Chain A
Amino acid sequence: MGSSEKDVTTVIDVTKFDTSDYKSVRKSPRSATGPIKAWETDPNFKYEVQKQPGGKDLLYCYQCSTCTLSCPIREINPDFNPRKIIEMAVLGMKKEILESEEIWICASCQACYERCPQNVKFSEVIGAIKQVAMKEAQKGNIEITSKKPGFDGSFMSMIERFGRMYEPGLLMDFLLLKNKDLNGLFGYMPLGINMFKKGKIAFFPSKIKGMDCIKNIFEKLEEV
């Protein structure tokens, strides 16, 4: 009995945990930060996620971990845990989730979507969470460190300008203008040269005729 009493005191000693630079959802929401501070959670967060397209089935999750065990990213990075991201969303740990790298490393393989026994569709839920993250970042409430939203932005800006993809423009916009990443650009060179030799790179963008519609899509839907 003596030793278990000691364990209990260790668990409740929250002063031992430093939560000042906590940016990741690596550990269990409980063990990494100590007990969840109910007064710091946002009970409305789950409803906010549910309101986004793809987020509506969030609350059906019963924490079985099928998503996590199906995940190919998890195979490489054991810290990535879809089940835990859902748990934290339901608990209202808004800031921790929205500022974590993890929400941006889903490869969209759809294994979790396919296998979820409750039809939560994690790959859709993570899309909904990302929507909330981008809105909060725009308002200046959170800071996103991942490069993924920047890449997605560069990609979409090509469509907004031309109606189609333009790879050289995408690389310039993302690597050079956004990240000043000369190494990244050089790293791309061997494949780029090879592709060029094989006639697989379009030098100039081709713009579609129906740009009015594309303009409307970006102007009217990106606001929502």
Chain B
Amino acid sequence: MRFTYYPGCSAHASAKEYDMSARAVCEKLGVELIEIDDWNCCGALEAENPLVSVALSVRNLAIAEESGLDLAIPCSACYFNAAKAVKYLREDESVQKKLLEVDHSLRFNDTIAPRHLLDVIVNEVGVEEIRRNTTRPLSRIKVVPYYGCLIGRPSDIAFDDPDNPRSMDLLIEAVGAEQPSFSHKAKCCGGALIMTNFDYSMEMSRKILEDAKGAGADCIIVGCPVCHLMLDGRQSDIEAKYEIELKIPVLYFTQLLGLAFGIEPGKLGLNKNIVSTNNLVSMIKGA
């Protein structure tokens, strides 16, 4: 199975462990990821001008299209922008015309599709294959999946169920971990507001973390670098602000899969998570 791969800017910065673990896990699953050449930033949620946002994603989609392979995207915001760009092009023919006036390279013929990496792993590789590769079942730990916004919403762009997304639930089940009920799985972490409305995003992430803690989870898994930066990177700030203790590791779903597949923690970047994952790893190893 082959896909083109768009790592996104955070893969070179705050989400290095996502990129590392995605590559390691895909290799194990026989999914070849071919990084597209000279990709650009998608504009995240900061490209207020919708046409600029579409143009930035179309440049990447056009590069991927040359190879004829669907484009796997690990970041939910990058995925949202790419899928939204395709929707804009389909709904309004004048958009493609306008883009070609801007730059001749901005042509997308809609012959390939952007796919969230989670979608690729759950729906293309399949849960059965995950189960088959699980050499070290994670039956000792409790895991809650945090989807955030863009994996399920809006349903004309995202791939999972908007009200009760299930793709990571299926993965947790496949690797044999316990899954306590967790009501904040599709709530918003407030990541888009961290630089301008700090208090809002801290409060939004606090609710998610406390719900996970209250559910007795040993770790949270996510599929988005923005969610990860809030729940993992900002966790100690949240503890200080609200005078609470959380200390709950937040892993990318690919890191959890890698542990179940018996891949070395170093290859999964588990030392790069801000909240220490050491205890979790020893629990899994049964030490």
A: residues with CB less than 8 A from B are: 52-54, 72-73, 76-77, 104-105, 107-111, 113-114, 121, 127, 130-131, 134, 146-149, 151-152, 155-156, 158-159, 163-165, 167, 174, 190-191, 194-195, 198-202, 206, 208-210, 212-214, 216-218, 220-222, 224
B133 at interface by CB-CB < 8 Å: no
Q: How far is the CA of A72 from the CA of B200 in the complex (A)?
A: 9
**Known contacts A54-B50, A114-B154; A220/B102 CB under 8 A:** yes
**Known contacts A105-B193, A156-B52, A210-B40; A202/B12 CB under 8 A:** yes
What are the 3 tightest A-B residue pairs by CB atom distance, in nearest-first order? A109-B188, A165-B9, A155-B46
Q: How far is the CA of A166 from the CA of B36 in the complex (A)?
A: 19
Q: Is the CB of B48 within 8 A of A216?
A: no
Candidates A131, A147, A163, A174; contact of B41 at CB < 8 Å = A163
Q: Is the CB of B188 within 8 A of A107?
A: yes
Q: CB-nearest residue of chain A relative to B63? A: A210
- With most chain A CB atoms within 10 A of its CB, the pick from B45, B103, B204 is B103
Please name 8 pairs of A and B residues whose Cβ atoms are closer than 8 Å in the assembled complex, sorted by A: A54-B50, A108-B149, A147-B196, A156-B52, A163-B41, A164-B12, A165-B13, A218-B52
Interface residue ranges of B169-212 to A (CB < 8 Å): 187-188, 190-193, 195-197, 200-201, 203-204
Which residues of chain A have C-beta atoms less than 8 A from B149's C-beta? 108-111
Q: Is the CB of A110 within 8 A of B200?
A: no
Q: Is the CB of A217 within 8 A of B102?
A: yes
Q: Is the CB of A76 within 8 A of B204?
A: yes
Which residues of chain B have C-beta atoms less than 8 A from A195's C-beta? 13-14, 233, 274
Which residues of chain A have C-beta atoms less than 8 A from B237's C-beta? 190-191
Measured as residues with beta carbon below 8 angstroms from the partner, the interface class of chain B is 35 or more
**Minimum Cβ distance to chain B for residue A81 (Å):** 15
**Minimum Cβ distance to chain B for residue A158 (Å):** 8
- With most chain B CB atoms within 10 A of its CB, the pick from A52, A164, A202 is A164
Which residues of chain A have C-beta atoms less than 8 A from B236's C-beta? 190
**Known contacts A105-B193, A131-B49; A114/B155 CB under 8 A:** yes
Q: Is the CB of B153 within 8 A of A222?
A: no
Which residues of chain A have C-beta atoms less than 8 A from B203's C-beta? 76
Q: Is the CB of A217 within 8 A of B103?
A: yes
**Interface class of chain A by DSSP:** helix
**Known contacts A200-B272, A217-B52; A110/B150 CB under 8 A:** yes
Which residues of chain A have C-beta atoms less than 8 A from B16's C-beta? 198-200
Candidates B43, B51, B190, B192; contact of A53 at CB < 8 Å = B51
Which residues of chain B have C-beta atoms less than 8 A from A151's C-beta? 46, 195-196
Q: Mark B1-35, 1 if CB is under 8 A from A, else 0.
A: 00000000110111010000000000000000000
Candidates B102, B105, B200; contact of A73 at CB < 8 Å = B200
Q: Is the CB of B204 within 8 A of A72?
A: yes
B47 at interface by CB-CB < 8 Å: yes
**Minimum Cβ distance to chain A for residue B266 (Å):** 13
Q: Is the CB of A148 within 8 A of B196?
A: yes
B142 at interface by CB-CB < 8 Å: no
Q: How far is the CA of A214 from the CA of B55 in the complex (A)?
A: 9
Candidates A72, A146, A198; contact of B271 at CB < 8 Å = A198
Q: Is the CB of B41 within 8 A of A164?
A: yes
Which residues of chain A have C-beta atoms less than 8 A from B101's C-beta? 220
**Known contacts A202-B12, A208-B39, A209-B38; A77/B200 CB under 8 A:** yes
Candidates B9, B102, B200; contact of A221 at CB < 8 Å = B102
Q: How far is the CA of A106 from the CA of B204 in the complex (A)?
A: 13
Which residues of chain A have C-beta atoms less than 8 A from B38's C-beta? 208-210
**Known contacts A107-B188, A109-B149; A163/B40 CB under 8 A:** yes
**Known contacts A53-B51, A147-B196, A151-B196; A199/B272 CB under 8 A:** yes
Q: Is the CB of B45 within 8 A of A108?
A: yes
Q: Is the CB of A213 within 8 A of B41?
A: no
Q: How far is the CA of A131 from the CA of B49 in the complex (A)?
A: 7
Q: Is the CB of A210 within 8 A of B102?
A: no
Candidates B153, B191, B233; contact of A191 at CB < 8 Å = B233
